[in-house]
Structure 1
Amino acid sequence: MADDAADKAPDEEVQRVLDSIDGLGADGSAEDRALRLTHLLDQWPDTHAKVRAARQQAVKELHDDGMSYRKIAMLLGVSFGRVRQIIDGESAGQAKRKKAEAGDE
């Protein structure tokens, strides 16, 4: 199941973003690259949060429109449980910490 989505090539928009990120570390002087990459990393937490929130909204819409967790899981190449976590706004890191804490009890 997870392999299906992982095997798909990213769509054109996603590929452009990935190529742009690659370009930040490949073009220009070492000083220019270091400055650009530092700026990107400084902005990354906010950007990551925006991407996660946008994905959560899209996944909620799929489910609200009648798509089952299992079908969403197949579409995204993630587990059934991960779909629920995405809809609940729970990051993978939070889920791992919860699981570890439950094991400690």
Structure 2
Amino acid sequence: MDTPPTPFEALANLTTGPDPTQRAKNIGMALAAVPDLQKWLRRAREHAVGEMHDSGMSYADIGVELGMDRVRAHQIAKGKTTGRPPKPKPGPAEPDSP
């Protein structure tokens, strides 16, 4: 893949320039920020779906507009990121037994 997927074409500038060290640093910083980007995009989508509903659209209508079912549209508006429960966080490592 030579170009980033739509709508991230503007990020292509991270991969250009004469200094490979700087390019690697720029790309590394961008990769490290992906979780924050996802959170920001989710909040922005949540707000947009909430605005759609506040303007009088039903969740069924919102679902049709966005290509999802009404339940998912409602979940998004309420800030639920997935229909699955969160993955459990790993606990402390158990000591090796002799």
- TM-score normalized with structure 1 length: 0.63
Q: Counterpart in 1 of 2:39?
A: 49
Higher relative contact order (CA 8 A, sep 6+): 1
Q: What is the CA deviation profile of residues 42-97 of structure 1, one whole-angstrom value per residue up to 9, with x for unaligned ones?
A: 222222212211111111111111101111111111222210110110112xx223
Count of residues paired in the alignment? 80
Q: Which has the larger radius of gyration?
A: 2
Could you say what the CA RMSD is over the residues aligned between the two structures, in angstroms? Answer: 2.0
2-side partners of 1:57 and 1:77: how far apart?
A: 17
2-side partners of 1:74 and 1:33: how far apart?
A: 41
Gaps of 5+ in 2: 1-5, 87-98
Q: 1:77 pairs with 67, 70, 89, which one?
A: 67
Q: Counterpart in 2 of 1:19?
A: 9
Q: Counterpart in 2 of 1:65?
A: 55
% of aligned pairs identical? 32
- TM-score normalized with structure 2 length: 0.67
Q: One-letter code of the match for 1:63?
A: H
Gaps of 5+ in 1: 1-14, 99-105
Pairing 1:96–2:84 present: yes
